[in-house]
């Protein structure tokens, strides 16, 4: 198809980005424009008026992370067709997709399809794997096929918004912060990749690594960006959460699409 696909996403550990990219492939867009809103200062102010948008977010406690909404609020449209993606860590996505639908509609997009896909949980470790390695090849293929279905729907001139799973009012927001990954000084090489990957810019690297925990969103970008495993996240709250996820969410879930 001869349109432009606008990829708008927030993706600290990269799984949301992978799925939105595969959907764009399936759409068959001539040109793909990336709006990666993950890092501080990455917001762009733009009003989109041609093509199709794909808006992707990770699910945090069954909701859209507040930071995503802040980073994306400067992107508006005038009725541009849009595909929504909620990436979740194999627990539940709860009200995230309906919240994203309402946000996107408020920004001027016309929601024509939505999908909930699964990605490796931010708290997953090799020892305690939760949806490890997802999205896998099968997930990515499903995302491409979903993109193809959306392209057909648009070509047919059908811009209806489908019914999307989730509740309004949304579940209460959980406040994050106060705890953050730590630095293992014996392993740390002071390379700075943790600071470069942090969406809230709370990590400072000098002769040691300092983390300002109050504004950490616990996304684990720094944990996964570290090549030498020097960012363990083993606060008792996280250990408890990991144990709950392992006990209750080990059965692989399948992506769900609404079109
Ligand atoms: C603070 C926090 C809360 C999360 N809440 C949920 C949740 O409610 N349900 C779920 O299945 N996964 C949850 N996850 C996991 C993420 O949705 C999942 O790892 C996602 O793939 C991350 O996307 P990204 O790779 O684009 O950063 C949570 C992760 C974090 C850091």
63 Cα nearest atom in ligand 1: 8
Gap from CA of 253 to ligand 1 centroid (Å): 14
- Bridging pattern class, strands 4-9 and 52-58: parallel
Q: Where are the domains of the chain?
A: 4-170+252-258, 193-234
56 Cα nearest atom in ligand 1: 26
3-state secondary structure of 172: coil
C-beta separation of 206 from 256 below 8 A: no
Q: What is the pLDDT of residue 1?
A: 59
With cut-offs at 50, 70 and 90, classify the pLDDT of residue 189: very high
Gap from CA of 30 to ligand 1 centroid (Å): 31
Q: Where are the beta strands (DSSP E) in 78-146?
A: 80-88, 109-118
Q: Model confidence over 91-114: pLDDT tens digits?
A: 999 999 999 999 999 999 999 999
Whole-prediction pTM = 0.98
- Rounded mean pLDDT, 49-75: 97
- Lining ligand 1 with CB less than 6 A are 11-16, 58-62, 87-92, 119-122, 176, 218-220
According to CATH, the topology of domain 193-234 is Alpha-Beta Plaits (3.30.70)
Q: Which residue has the tokens 């997802």?
A: 134
Q: Model confidence over 210-227: pLDDT tens digits?
A: 999 999 999 999 999 999
According to CATH, the topology of domain 4-170+252-258 is Rossmann fold (3.40.50)
Q: Which residue has the tokens 């930071």?
A: 67
Q: Where are the beta strands (DSSP E) in the chain?
A: 4-9, 31-36, 46-48, 52-58, 75-77, 80-88, 109-118, 203-205, 209-211, 256-258
Q: Do domains 4-170+252-258 and 193-234 have the same CATH topology?
A: no
pLDDT at 16 over 70: yes
Which residues are bridge partners to 53 per DSSP? Answer: 6, 82
- Rounded mean pLDDT, 110-132: 97
Q: What is the pLDDT of residue 3?
A: 86
């Amino acid at each position: 198809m001869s349109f432009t696909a606008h990829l708008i996403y927030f993706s600290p550990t990269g799984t949301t980005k992978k799925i939105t990219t595969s959907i764009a492939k399936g759409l068959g867009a001539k040109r793909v424009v990336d709006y990666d809103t993950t890092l501080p200062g990455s917001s762009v102010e733009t009003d989109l008026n041609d093509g199709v948008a794909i808006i992707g977010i990770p699910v945090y406690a069954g909701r859209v992370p507040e930071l995503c909404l802040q980073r994306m609020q400067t992107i508006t449209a005038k009725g541009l067709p849009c595909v929504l993606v909620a990436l979740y860590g194999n627990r539940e996505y709860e009200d995230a997709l309906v919240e994203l639908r309402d946000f996107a509609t408020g920004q001027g997009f016309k929601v024509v399809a939505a999908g909930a896909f699964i990605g490796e949980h931010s708290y997953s470790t090799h020892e305690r794997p939760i949806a490890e390695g997802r999205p896998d090849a099968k997930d990515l293929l499903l995302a491409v096929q979903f993109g193809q279905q959306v392209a057909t729907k648009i070509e047919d001139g059908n811009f209806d918004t489908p019914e999307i799973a989730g509740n309004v009012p949304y579940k209460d927001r959980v406040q994050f912060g106060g705890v953050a990954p730590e630095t293992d000084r014996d392993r740390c090489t002071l390379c700075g990749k943790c600071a470069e990957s942090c969406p809230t810019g709370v990590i400072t690297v000098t002769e040691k690594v300092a983390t300002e925990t109050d504004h950490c969103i616990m996304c684990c970008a720094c944990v996964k960006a570290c090549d030498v495993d020097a960012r363990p996240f083993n606060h008792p709250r996280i250990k408890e959460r990991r144990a709950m996820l392992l006990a209750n969410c080990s059965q692989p879930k399948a992506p769900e699409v609404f079109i």
